[in-house]
């Protein structure tokens, strides 16, 4: 797993027991089917729910969920979590998204005018969800992190835009509002999501890819292809502040216990009080999500007390030996 945030040792030279637990990359295919993510390239026309149902049918699993709905006509990154990994989907639902959009203005506009108008939509914008959405229609604030014009064709009235935005931003509504400022009207003609959180279209796989890989695995015993398609759930946590804990503290966290400072071995930068954190083993296995009680600086300097409370557990109980007593 790639850690975006800097890791700082609280207990230098700690050595984990390699007889218990397992590095995520060493999980069996069966384990990945219960704790993995597929970055699917959603095709046009089916709903996100239908695509997720097809993935379950191909893999013969009971539980799967997708990380952020795409309209039927929209293509691109649709991360699908398998089994217990569905508990992590709330992270993807809140993650930054990036889209490539074909916008059609209702009359020709110059490149210069369009560029000047796009500048007005960078930063905070106000949106009311469209009529056909399932969200309550009330004015809300969303953030556009980046908005670039990749190409512009005045004669055909088409523009190619790249949009990086906060989760929950309606691109169809955004293009409509751009059209209002242009004075010509405009609409979204085509849309593709190229990034959601840590998943990009560079690692997308198609339904046919998945079906073929599953065939090689089930019929020929070849795991090579299916392993390339199912990523460990830990990839979701790249940008989340983390605590790495002692082997002896793991099972208590699996039972929902609070994490105390003596159990912490490493900590990443960026932990703030009352913020979301991920709790990991020293083999970089995701144990649970929690809420921090202390900041990174306090965790590194203090020696006793509770530093985080557990709220969502991923690891099975007794994966690591129990070394605590329930009260």
Upper half-sphere CA count for residue 176 (Cβ side, 13 Å) = 10
User: H or E element: which one contains 192?
Assistant: strand 186-196
CB-neighbour burial class of residue 31 (10 A; exposed 0-12, middle 13-18, buried 19+): middle
Buried b (16+ CB within 10 A) or exposed e, 50-70: ebbebbeebbeeeebbbbbeb
CB-neighbour burial class of residue 2 (10 A; exposed 0-12, middle 13-18, buried 19+): exposed
Give residue 29's Cα distance to chain centre: 21
Closest CA to 313 of 289, 280, 284, 278: 289
List residues with catalytic annotation. Answer: 71
């Amino acid at each position: 797993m790639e850690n975006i945030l800097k890791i700082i040792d609280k207990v230098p030279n700690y050595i984990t027991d390699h007889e218990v637990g397992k590095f995520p990359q060493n999980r069996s295919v069966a384990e990945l089917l219960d704790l993995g993510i597929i970055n699917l390239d959603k095709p046009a026309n089916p709903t996100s729910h239908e695509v997720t149902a097809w993935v379950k049918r191909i893999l013969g699993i009971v539980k799967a969920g997708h990380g952020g709905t795409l309209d039927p006509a929209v293509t691109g990154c649709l991360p699908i979590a398998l089994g217990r990994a569905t508990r992590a989907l709330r992270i993807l639902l809140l993650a930054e998204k990036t889209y490539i959009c074909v916008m059609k203005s209702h009359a020709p506009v110059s490149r210069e005018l369009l560029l000047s108008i796009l500048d007005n939509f960078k930063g905070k914008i106000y949106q009311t969800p469209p009529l056909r959405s399932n969200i309550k229609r009330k004015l809300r604030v969303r953030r556009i992190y980046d908005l670039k014009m990749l190409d512009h064709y005045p004669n055909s009235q088409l523009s190619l835009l790249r949009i990086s935005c906060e989760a929950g931003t309606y691109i169809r509504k955004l293009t409509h509002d751009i059209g209002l400022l242009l004075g010509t009207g405009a609409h979204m003609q085509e849309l593709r999501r190229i990034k959601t959180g840590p998943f990009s279209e560079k690692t997308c796989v198609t339904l046919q890819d998945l079906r073929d890989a599953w065939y090689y695995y089930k019929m020929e015993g070849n795991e090579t292809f299916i392993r390339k398609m199912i990523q460990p759930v830990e990839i979701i946590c790249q940008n989340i502040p983390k605590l790495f804990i002692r082997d002896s503290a793991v099972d208590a966290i699996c039972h929902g216990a609070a994490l105390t400072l003596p159990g912490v071995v490493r900590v990443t930068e960026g932990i703030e009080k009352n913020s979301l954190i991920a709790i990991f083993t020293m083999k970089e296995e995701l144990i649970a999500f929690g809420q921090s009680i202390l900041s990174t600086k306090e965790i590194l300097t203090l020696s006793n007390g509770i530093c985080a409370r557990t709220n969502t557990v991923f690891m099975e109980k007794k994966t690591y030996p129990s070394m605590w007593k329930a009260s």
